[in-house]
Each structure stands twice: as structure tokens, then as C-alpha cells.
Amino acid sequence: MSEVGTIRVRLNGKDRDVDPGLSVRGLLEALNLHPSLVVVELNREILERERYGDVPVRAGDTLELVHFVGGG
């Protein structure tokens, strides 16, 4: 069951409660992920980075986040 004032989404295969009203960009920032280093698949569709701020996260959404890390 989700907490009061949150919505439930499926994030990388696990249910997670998040604040309502977030855009995809807002969700990434809440997770401390830099939007330019993340590929987002929302409900089985890859989003263009330019759209992250315009696309709302809704209850029941399924998101897969692939975070790129540098190193060597």
C-alpha cells in the first residue's frame, strides 16, 4: 500500500512510492541522478532527454532507468 500523499510506480522492476506531480526530470533529480547521464524507458517507450521535463510521472507507470557511469 502506498503512503498518503504518494503515488506508486514500478522503477527498475520494484514498486516504489514517489511524490505526485513529478516530471521524469523531477524524479531523476529526486533520485540524485543527472538527467543527461540517464536513459529512461517509460511504459516500454524510450523517452528523448529533451522531453524529461515535460512528461509527468503517473501512478502505475513503469520506468526503467539506465545510468551511465564513467571510469576505467
Break the chain into its structural domains and give their ranges: 7-67
H helices present in 1-72, as ranges = 24-30
Q: Burial-class residue 49 by CB neighbours within 10 Å (0-12, 13-18, 19+).
A: middle
Give yes or no for residue 2 having a pLDDT over 60.
no
* pLDDT, tens digit, 9 for 90 and up, residues 30-51: 999 999 999 999 999 999 999 9
Architecture of domain 7-67: Roll (3.10)
Residues 6 or more apart in contact with residue 27 via CB below 8 angstroms: 18, 57, 63
- Which one-letter amino acid corresponds to residue 50? E
Query: 0.85 cut: is pTM over it?
Result: yes
Q: Give the span between the Cα atoms of 39 and 47, in whole angstroms.
A: 8
